[in-house]
Amino acid sequence: MSLLDEAIAFAATAHADHRRKYDGLPYITHPLHVMSILWEHGVRDEAMLIAAVLHDVVEDTPVGLDEIERAFGSDVASLVDDLTDKFGAGTGGNRRERKERERARIASASLRAQTVKFADFISNTSSITARDPGFARVYLDEKAATLALMSEDVWGLRRSAEVSLRRGQEMLVQHALRGEVTDA
């Protein structure tokens, strides 16, 4: 079994009781989608692919970075650490303040971590705009502000993330035209 296969099994176990908010699918489908977006864009860096699979484990489960490091090495653990939101709801301040702090933090993350984050944005944008147009307005604005601070990348994922956000905005207009959301 490859290290990537081990990471997939590890993440599937860690997220075993989690479901995607909007479609009820097993949560593991999201990190696998993030990894597949990287692969489709030519990313073959094993640590990045593994980090994509593990990117929500520390944030959403009891698993700690020390466990990630023991199982997958310091490079993967460092990437996962960069990808873990440090300013979630329980960290104080209102959402706007927390998101501003997180934007600044991710903008200083490594290019490799930012590239995985671009793929995460792409994956989340389609499901959020399709299933929660009210929240999508907030989400798309937050992600556009984050993208504005992030680096360029060699795999073209930043450009794809920008296109994904534009498509999300277009979907919001369609939702508004159907009366499903106001002020889009």
Q: Check: CB of residue 80 under 8 Å from CB of residue 57.
A: yes
The tokens for 165 are 């956000």
| Active site (annotated) includes residue 60 | yes
Q: Which of 5, 59, 66, 152 is catalytic?
A: 59
Q: Which of 60, 102, 132, 142 is catalytic?
A: 60
Task: State the Cα angle at 109 between 103 and 115, rounded to 5°.
Answer: 90
How many DSSP H helices and E strands does the chain contain? 10, 0
Exposed, middle or buried, 146 (CB in 10 Å: 0-12/13-18/19+)?
Answer: buried
CA distances from 49 to 20, 31, 124, 169 (A): 21, 10, 17, 28
DSSP 151: P
* Catalytic residue set: 59-60
